[in-house]
Copies of this chain bind each other. A is one copy, B any other.
Amino acid sequence: MKTLLLKKEEVSRLICVSEVICTVEEAYKAFNSDQVEQPDYIGIHLPSPRGEIDFKVGYDKANEVISMKASSGGFINNPTAHGLPSGMGTILLLDARSCALICVMDGSLITGLRTGASGAVSVKALARKNAKKITSIGTGNQARMQIRMINETMKIEEIHAWDRNPHTLSKYKTDIESEFGIPVIMANSKKEAVEQADILITTTRGKGSLVEPEWVKPGTHIVAIGTDQQGKQELGPEIFRNAKVVVDSIAQCTEKGETWHPLNKNIITKDDIHGEIGEILLGKKPGRENDDEVTIFDSTGMAIQDNVTSIKIYRNAIERDIGTFFEFFE
């Protein structure tokens, strides 16, 4: 039995931005078509200053592939102590017809890619058609990835950015302007940045101050990325009161997404959640219905996004004859 091994560098060559947007869209649709089994994930928190490692399993019935992603993050001493990145990942793909191991690939890039794509998919489904200005609260790797992906789906005229750390902010401006030629305006305050937004993206990891409801103008689409577990928060919960709330997974977002906060404060009930994004993509529920509503997309990240994206990478590898085969048994 042959297993394909794919290195990080090969993975990066094997998938492009527009393909990830397609695979994530496909994943969301599959999730809302009873084509997905996605059990609760396993997480192990190591003692500080180490981070966490998660094991996420997804079964995609349409493709008949089971994926398992082991993904670590927050090992802040790794670069100095071990010469390793602070987070790493490995993905196993199993043919669900036999449970044969068909692929072991480096999984460091996939989380970033599929998370970036989730924002772009939501922009297509929920942002105003005349949206031009993006506000980025948070200017780290995922903030850049969001721009890279959203830039595929619309014409971004300018980006208003804010970060607690002025150096990070200024680096972001340089990088984005040189990579995409989109002007970046460094805001003096979070408020100043948010007030400009047609699309507001939050990627701060949810530990800082909140975006206040009065800063959000009508018609804004909010992409809430940074909150994916209890204890994190980026948006003032009152923002949810009159917004159209769309989530990747109701089960996940009500438990550990941004949506948990307004639910916990009784600002909204579960019934006020408009739906899951897959339902909108499948046409089961409407997306944006007018130019004034505030839409929120709460993304906690799902195993099926890793699954469908890594299947695409695997198939591209087979087609292009990239990677190394290894026989774990004969």
A interface vs B, CB < 8 Å?
1, 5, 7-9, 37, 39-44, 46, 50-51, 53, 55, 57, 59, 66, 68, 70, 72, 75, 78, 81-82, 84, 87-88, 90, 92, 94, 96-101, 104-106, 108, 324, 326-330
CB-based contact B57/A44 at 8 Å: yes
- Assess whether A108 is in contact with B329, with CB atoms less than 8 Å apart: yes
Question: With a CB–CB cut-off of 8 A, which chain B residues contact A90?
Answer: 92, 101, 328
Chain B residues within 8 Å of A96, by CB: 46, 50
Using A88-B99, A328-B90 as known contacts, say yes or no to A43 and B53 having CB atoms under 8 A apart.
Answer: no
Would A106 and B8 count as touching, CB distance under 8 A? no
Name the B residues within 8 Å of A327 (CB-CB).
7
Which of A87, A100, A101, A329 has its CB near the most chain B CB atoms (within 10 A)? A329
> Given that A42-B42, A44-B37 are contacting pairs, would A329 and B94 also be in contact in the complex, using a CB cutoff of 8 Å?
no
CA distance A138 to B50 in the complex (A): 46
A139: min CB distance to chain B, Å: 25
Tell me if B100 and A84 are in contact (CB < 8 A).
yes
Please tell me how many copies of the chain the complex holds.
2
**Least Cβ distance of A314 to chain B in Å?**
15
A44 and B41 CA atoms in complex are apart in Å by 12
**CB-based contact A66/B44 at 8 Å:** yes
Decide: A55 and B55 in contact? CB cutoff 8 A.
Answer: yes
B78 adjacent to A55 (CB under 8 Å): no
Which single member of B39, B98, B99, B326 contacts A5 (CB below 8 Å)? Answer: B326
Q: Which listed residue, B42, B94, B108, touches A53 by the CB 8 Å rule? A: B94
In contact, B55 and A57 (Cβ under 8 angstroms): yes
- State whether A330 touches B9 (Cβ < 8 A): yes
Q: Given the known inter-chain contacts A8-B328, A84-B1, please indicate yes or no for A70 contacting B98, CB distance below 8 A.
A: no
Are B70 and A92 within 8 A (Cβ)? yes
Using Cβ atoms and an 8 Å threshold, which residues of chain B touch A9? 329-330
Interface contact B44-A42, CB-CB below 8 Å:
no
Chain B residues whose CB sits within 8 angstroms of the CB of A330 once the complex forms:
7-9
Contact at B70–A42, with CB atoms within 8 Å?
A: no
Distance to closest chain B CB from A93 (angstroms): 11
Interface centre among A78, A99, A326 (most CB of B within 10 A): A99
Q: How far is the CB of A66 from chain B (nearest CB, A)?
A: 6
